[in-house]
A and B are shown apart, each in its own frame.
Chain A
Amino acid sequence: MKWKVTDIDTYQQAKEYVDTAVIPLIPLQWGKSEKETITMGEFTEYITDRIENQFTGRVFLMPPFTYLKTESSEEKLRRLMEWDAHLFQQGFKYVFYVTSDVAWKSLDKKLPDELIWIPAISSETMNSDQLKKTVEQQTSQIMPLFTGKWQTEPNNRDE
């Protein structure tokens, strides 16, 4: 399900089945390597869209968590944890943060739930068929992380 008016009624009737939130982490930056930064964001959106498409009934795709590349790690982390705590309290027992921005990798240990980092592949030189295939392939690698996670107890958030 997506952050759309058309999906929210379905969600409200099926809440107990929708226990997983996906948050795309998307950087913004001007004046330096715009293209690279955009590529990261685009790729993350393709992947998260595909994940949502495959797991519509259990996964809720949130609007992207956006940040300036220059924002400090502590601040980003603090804000993301706020999102996480909010979603967790509202019944999303599993939260996945999905990004192509390598900056998050060093913060992995500090995150309350699962970070998925996928290196961005530029779609610039691909036609739409190739892009589709690439996204499908990458997503099929990630999907077991979800089904695996669902077999474990949710992480605790209390500290």
Chain B
Amino acid sequence: MSEKKHRVSRRQFLTYTLTGVGGFMAAGMLSPMVRMALDPALEATGDSEFVSVGLGEDELTDEPQIVNFQLEIEDAWYTSEQPRSAWIYKDGDEIIALSPICTHLGCTVNWDSNEDYPEQFFCPCHFGRFERDGTNVAGTPPTRPLDVYDVEVRDGMIYLGQINQRS
């Protein structure tokens, strides 16, 4: 996925910027104002840290299942735990983890919850629909697919990383 290549981590970004404006002294001169202006933009691309969702790879099937986990969000001066969820399943050998947030206006979608639309993600708010792989169904309100998490397996356990938008 191409979004990965475009990503610049916060550290890299700062390194680039700092070397650009002349090294260490500039660190102090990069005033808080500038950092405040930059921070939200950096935040939006997410942090690349992976968190465990408490699920083993062997517990996955090709049927999407919901997992809930906590993400530590650092917000200037304090850290808070924020709840996150993902629909996880196996597609052959690949593990797919989709965000349950409807790309229309943000309601939570459910898998296979509407009798009329089996094997699809269904949004109860304005009847948005998505295929198993997250592709939005044409003719329903959402205009892009569900976002996907980066997935990693460590010692057989599932870890999720940042969320990526697709178009």
Contacts and interface: CB of A to CB of B under 8 A. Distances in A.
Interface of A: 10, 14, 17-18, 53-58, 132, 143, 146-147, 150
Given A10-B105, A14-B105, A17-B105, A55 B83 contact: no
A60 to B, nearest CB: 11
Contact of B125 (A10, A53, A57, A132): A57
Contacts of A146: 124
A3 to B, nearest CB: 16
Which applies to chain B's interface (DSSP): helix, strand, loop or mixed?
A: loop
Nearest to A136: B68
A18 B141 CA distance: 13
Interface residues of B, number: 12
Contacts of B108: 53-55
Best-surrounded residue of B83, B107, B141 (most CB of chain A within 10 A)? B107
Interface string B87-124: 00000000000000010111110000000000000011
A18 B125 CA distance: 9
A10 B106 CA distance: 11
A8 B124 CA distance: 22
Contact of B126 (A10, A17, A132, A143): A17
A58 B126 contact: yes
A147 B83 CA distance: 23
Contacts of B107: 54-58
A56 B125 CA distance: 9
Contacts of A56: 105-107
A152 B107 CA distance: 20
A1 to B, nearest CB: 8
B43 to A, nearest CB: 14
A150 B124 CA distance: 9
B55 to A, nearest CB: 16
